[in-house]
Structure 1
Amino acid sequence: MKQNESYRIFPLIIFLIISGFVFSQTPDYAKVDKLITEGRNYSVIKYLTPFQSIKNKEELAKVYKYIASAYSKNNQEDKSFEYLTKSKLKYLEAGNKEEAMGITLDIAYLFTTQKHNFKKAKRIIQEYIVFAKETEKDDLLAKGYSSWASTLIEENPEESKKYFKKAFDHNKKAFNEKTFTTINNNLGVLYSEKLNKPDSALFYFNKNLEISIQKNDLDEICTNYINIAAAYYYKGEYQEAIKLLNKANEIELTEYKDNTKCLIHKFLSFNFEALNDYENAYNHLFEHTTLQNKINAEMQDIKVSELQIFYETKEKDLENKDLKNKNSLLESKRKINLLVLFVLIGVLISIIVISLLTVKNAKKKQLIAEQEKLLEKQKLATTLKEHELQNIDLMLESQEHERIKMANELHDNLGSMLATLKLNFQNLKRQKEGLIDEENKLYEKTDDLIEEAYQKVRDMAHLKNSGIIGNEGLVPAVKKMADKMSILNLMEMNVIPFGLKDRLDNKLEVSLFRMIQELCTNIIKHAKASEVNIYLTQHNGTDINLIIEDNGIGFDPKAMKSSDGMGLKNIEKKVEQMGGTFSIDSIKDKGTTIIIDIPL
């Protein structure tokens, strides 16, 4: 027996899950719209009532809005106001201010039908217009100005006409057919009833009639016939008004059938009375009264139906209570079984959550380990780069040391030997005073060669300051280097300095000179250039800018390799070590520009 009871729990659980799923769904709005079209407003309310438990705030706001509309069409303004307010609050909670303000406009329209709330309606419409101006949306402004103009029809017709024009202008920019027809209807009422211009009213009513005929909307066609008939009534053309009202009466309506027919008979009565046809006037007034009583009876039926549903619900509650008393023991057992099941489900969910957290934690640890490996690789790359830069520095220092050593050797040994040789040669020349002219010329030529060799050795010895000749500085050294490297009629090197007024640190000057020297040597070897420009610029004492450009054959910077001397790659790394930037702009057959920026 117990086993059978436990099996019964599962269908119950499935039922609860399915029920929760059903009530979490949204209403079938196509069905709701069909019920509204058929004028079955009470059915709309009955259908939508269970959906008031929807959790989605914006969807719930929509449900409230439909219920409010149904109550309004049933002439239950108090209920309509209640649900419009609920809808507005839910839209605000959902963060949809535009829809909330639209509901505000519906509330304002509801208030305009009540004299004691008319001022409140005007205040609400003004608030809506302020909101519409903030959004700068033409469709919202059109609705706002149209509503405001409608409130002014009675008290200030001319001002009302001005605001209807504003509404028209904004609706042209963001056309909305419903707003357009609403403005036309209200303008028609304004011209026929307040401005005594029924012909102007006919112009606007006929526009709406054309639209309704194009759409084949029978209800709208009927409404427009009634409005046009009213304009003819004000014109005094009662026969034309009766003709239009009869055409309206022949249309098979889908919504507000009795209300509309009631209105048609009322207007027919007015027109026949104006023609002194009191018999027809009375007959249509009788039809109007009959339909009015029927509508009131239907309202009573709705109330009776509501009471019937209320009492049926109460009876079911009593039946359920009696059934619960009879099966209290069984219900207790079921509750215990349900509790056990829920505990098991809770444990199962806990295990799943713990498993997920464990997997997530393991993935997180794996990710951290991978990040640590990546950091180690980056550290290793940085260390290797630092070693590489240190090796470049050692290479440069070694080159400078070798140059100084060679210069010292030339100055101390070979220089002194050449000086002694020159002195001895001159003494030998003086001792041979009777030399013939040819020997004398030979002596002089040999003396010149010795002098030239001596001067070259002396110059090389003075290079112990690494290319920065004496105390002249970087610019003079570069200019002298350019003069020596220039080849008459083949290649011209120009040095253009700017802002280099003070001497730089000797080590920096040496590094800069070596870079320029290496780059110019590369140009001579490979570029086949006829012109080289070397720009040396110092900006506000903050950084040094070197630009070396040539009009040679160019090359592919990506394919450059280290060569003899410092090499482009080594220069780039040296510049990077000094905190600077190194860039190459080279186009085939267009030349090459190398830019170096180094902070001081």
Structure 2
Amino acid sequence: MLTAICHAQDAQLDEVDSLIGERDTEKASQILKKLDSGKLSPPHNARYHYLFGKLEGLKNNADEGFRFFLLARDKYQVLDSVDKAASINLDIIPILTSSKNNDLDPQPFMDEYLDYAREKDDPELLTKAYMQLGAIFISSDVQRTIGYYRQAIRENKKTGDSLMDAKIHHNLGVAFGEMTSEKDSAMHHYELALREYEKRGLSDFIAYIYNNKASVFKQLKQFDSSIFYYKKAEDLAPREYEKENKRFLYTNMAEAYELKGDFENAYKYLKLKNIYSDSIQQSEQNKAMLDIQTKYEVEKKENENLRLKQNRIWLLAALAVLMLILVIVFLAYKNIRSKKAIVEKEVEVQKQKVDKVLKQQELAGIDAMIEGQEKERQRIANDLHDNLGSLLATLKLHFQNMKRKQERPWEEEERLLKQTDELIDEAYQEVRNIAHAKNAGVHAQEGLLPALKNFAGKVSASNKLHIEVEDSGMDDRLENSLEILIFRIIQELITNVIKHAEASEVTIYLTHHGDSINILVEDNGKGFTMSQVKPKEGMGIYSIQKRVEHRGGTVDVESIPERGTSIVINMPIS
């Protein structure tokens, strides 16, 4: 009998979940209101409140959605369903982020979910976490937001979820389109997302893309294109958050017509916008959500106080046991104190020995570097002496021979002049070879980004490895020595890919934000296991780490066999 009841409850809640997915809020609401939550089993009761939270969110009742989500979260915690309780934070965060009330802080919910995702080390969970982090900082620190979204792309690649990839590109489009001047980047990311939405027939998401494109065209003062996309969005009429979406759409259309000078249509859409305006309701929802959060925190505090009172007796008993243990420990401490002093002295001596060894190793490294520089100077000197020196000596003989005022056949004179000319050409080419070997890379007049793109183009010309360079915030030049260091590091990483990775694609991301620069190099090669890489033999990684650490930066290497390798470098620019 009990099994039959549970099965019936499952079927009803599954139907509600399906209706919410189809945006049929009216029918879903009817079924939920008929259910008696008091007669539901604890797991079904928790799911009942969670579905009610989603339903109220779709109906644009943010305060009620927030209240039901908190109730569901507490019920799942009681059931020890940590996964479901943590995932509800992702439903709560967008509600608090979209609110204009600064007292509603989404950060605690974000921190709790991020800790859970990192503990699980699950790429899908980490992708969602970085998506929400990006949304939190989009207004205050857009470069930080873009960084989080790129981390989300990197984690999502491990899952192969094409729809989530489209959503991340959609969010990147919003970040570039609404918060930066890089409108081309925004359109690029919108197109990537739109292709996946159209493939899946997701009309609501397609409408959002049209809205976003229209906004970009409006900022570019291309008002006809802007109005065209707003009308395409209006034709699709998304059912998700219907009132709020229509109010937002008609507000933007009225503004676009006004900027174009078409005041008749501007007035028309302004009237439509007023029909859907609910600023009073939004203010009341914010107040209600703040009240709910306050009550929730108070209730949580009261429960904690109750548990403290219940544990007081146990605490007193534990203190008595602790006192007994402390007496025993004190007596034991007196007995081992002299031994501990001897051990500490031995540790100090050992530490001094280790410091001495490390100092010797450091000096040895410096000597090796100096020795390498001397060898390079010696090599150049040998090249000059053995090759160029012999050429110049031969030239000298030719000139001395030509200076002699003796008569010789015209053919002999012609042959001597030709040989002299060839020797001059050969000497010139030798000088060029030595100079090019010494100075290949970033030139002062060229800059880091053009040099990288030129390097990527030369490597890609082989058609065996395609390299793509993407940048953000790299409009200004860096200090020349730092540009040369970054170019050499990336050049070495690409060399490692060619020699070891068996990859077909490499992507280089350069992001300059604040006082630091972020470098990400990803390939789709065969990867490797870090535990099998010995220090100083790690395909140049050890050398790169030392150079970056010398500049005060960090190097993170992430590689999965048969899944590729990602190397993230963060360095201060000063």
TM-score (norm: length of structure 1): 0.43
TM-score (norm: length of structure 2): 0.45
- Name which one, 1 or 2, has greater alpha-carbon Rg: 1
**Structure with more contact order per residue of length (Cα contacts < 8 Å, sep ≥ 6):** 2
